[in-house]
Copies of this chain bind each other. A is one copy, B any other.
Amino acid sequence: MRISELSRRSGVPVTTIKYYLREGLLPPGRPTAANQADYDESHARRLRLVRALVGVRGLSVSAAKDVLGGIGEHEGDVHQLLGIVLGSAGTAGAAAAAQAGAEPPRPRMAEVDALLDSLGWEVSDNAPTKGVIAETLETLGDLGIEYDWKKLVPYAELAGQIASVDLDGIQDLADPLEQAERALVLTFLLEPVLMALRRLAQEHQSAVRRRGPSADISPAAP
């Protein structure tokens, strides 16, 4: 299809598509004339993904490029690909900070390692997500709240069950590239949903606990 058709189908303006092409977020089309190229389904799908990363989740163009680069390089191996996508999702900024030497030392990182050991989770040593956990333990300490890694164990076990639901949800997709893209999109986009559900559940359970376990559940009770 021509770039105008790609724009019409995706709802992304032609100028924006050209910008993504220049920045390498979208691979070039097949040249058909001096100033024309042909685009196919893979371009339409990649464009949707770019929009999800840049438009919806607010990643910078260079961070999105890092994430998408990971997909392109490992197209042969489904699980390798999935690992790259899941490992890099949303942490491109943290990785860039680490490369720039801007990553601060994390005094409570040993606790994060203890947590992962106790769970038996195998993750890459430099996963930037580990830094997020260490940093939060430090912040809680600064606020005078005693909080050690053992309190995170029940949360981690539930997060593990969430990850199972995540992975089950993409297993029916045949195409590995599509699988990786779906994993990336759902990992990102469901984050605010999961946190919203947690808050709604807190509100509900707080009301139930207020009434006590033996109280009448009917909301009409005086």
Contact = CB atoms under 8 A, between A and B. Distances in A.
Interface of A: 11, 48, 51-52, 56, 79-80, 82-83, 86-87, 89-91, 116, 121-124, 127, 129-130, 132-133, 136, 139-140, 142-145, 151-152, 154-156, 158-167, 169, 182-183, 185-187, 189-210, 219
Given A116-B200, A122-B219, A161-B158, A79 B209 contact: yes
A130 B197 CA distance: 8
A126 B86 CA distance: 34
A203 B87 contact: yes
Contact of A196 (B133, B183, B192, B196): B133
A222 to B, nearest CB: 16
Contacts of A165: 154-155, 158
Contacts of A189: 136, 139-140
A198 B159 contact: yes
A41 to B, nearest CB: 11
Q: How many copies does the complex hold?
A: 2
Given A155-B190, A197-B156, A164 B205 contact: yes
A207 B124 CA distance: 11
Interface centre among A129, A193, A199, A210 (most CB of B within 10 A): A199
Interface centre among A51, A210, A219 (most CB of B within 10 A): A210
A109 to B, nearest CB: 13
A182 to B, nearest CB: 7
Nearest to A207: B122
Contacts of A199: 86-87, 89-91, 127, 129, 163, 187
Given A136-B193, A193-B133, A207-B122, A187 B163 contact: no
Given A197-B155, A197-B156, A206 B143 contact: no
Contacts of A207: 79, 83, 122
